Amino acid sequence: MKLRHIALALCAVATTATTATTYAQQAPKPEDQIRYRQSIMNVIGRQFGMLAGMAKGEVPYNKEAAVKAAGLVETLSTLPAPLFGPGLDKGAPTKAGAKIWTEPDKFKAALEKMQGEVKKLPAAASDPATLKVAAGDVGKTCKGCHDDYREKEFRN
Amino acid sequence: MKLRHIALALCAVATTATTATTYAQQAPKPEDQIRYRQSIMNVIGRQFGMLAGMAKGEVPYNKEAAVKAAGLVETLSTLPAPLFGPGLDKGAPTKAGAKIWTEPDKFKAALEKMQGEVKKLPAAASDPATLKVAAGDVGKTCKGCHDDYREKEFRN
């Protein structure tokens, strides 16, 4: 527990540094970009986790919340691509696989496959049956990309 | 540098734990909620930072990017309120001021003031002159809330 507390404290320090850098409009450092990438993935994970829960019947379905989360996931899904760009393979500990940078075209295709499925989420979210199908399809692209491009352990 | 690297590694460990927890649809732990709160604020900071940069002329104005960022900031601005709820004052290092939990009504009013200004951003973002005014108004609510409710140092 203590270690996690220390980790989160330092994590917050990193966040503050990121914000300060951004406001000054300096070029963000790789470690700040990696932290931003992780923040985006965290929010996507939480929001899509809720949608997947609704799709599986583990969370009560709520149309308004589902449509809002789906729209948010769709917008957020468009952000990480440049954060996997050149020079962002190193600079902070990451589980992002080295293959992302050695086979960028394949990785880009995997990201675009995810984005293609995520685009269907907002319309699908307004009905539990269509959400179930769409969330399943999105989930498969998440897993596919994680299997191929996310390492089990942190590197760097 | 090394310390930040360790921090970010541990930070990523915390993120992974959060995602796993969410997918299992268990009640998230306070430390995971605090981490989620920090991720949301990080993304808001980066996206609003870009808008503020455009408003100040430090970043080239781009209508499509501005409207997208404004919509994203608006949606994200609706998420943190419950993450400042009961029991989330402790559990991980945070700069969130203790006053948030001792004067929740005042804090709620400050959050709602921010949300009220942020709501104007999407429409304002489609023109540099209106964006300048709206971003300025949003920035004041950010600063006001940070001055009153964000501590200088991490506590726990």
Q: Does B133 touch chain A (CB under 8 A)?
A: no
What is the spatial distance between Cα B37 and Cα B42, in angstroms, rounded to a whole number?
9
- The domain spans of chain A are 27-155
If one compares B131 and B10, the residue with the highest pLDDT of the two is B131
Other C-beta atoms lying within 10 Å of the C-beta of residue B1: 8
Alpha-carbon span A122 to A103, nearest angstrom:
31
- Residue B23 to residue A52, Cβ atoms within 8 A: yes
Residues 6+ apart with CB under 8 A from B48: B69, B73, B135, B138, B139, B142
Cβ-Cβ contacts under 8 Å, B76 against chain A: 43, 72
Size of interface A-B (CB pairs under 8 A): 162
CATH class of A27-155: mainly alpha
Question: How many Cβ atoms from other residues are within 10 Å of residue B150's Cβ?
Answer: 17
SS3 state of residue B12: helix
Answer with the residue of higher pLDDT: A154 or B45: B45
Q: Quick check: A19 and A96 in contact, CB under 8 A?
A: no
Rounded to 5°, the CA angle A36-A123-B47 comes to 20
Please tell me whether the overall predicted TM-score, pTM, comes out greater than 0.95 for this model.
no
Place of tokens 């991980």: B92
**Tens of pLDDT, residues A87-135:** 999 999 999 999 999 999 999 999 999 999 999 999 999 999 999 999 9
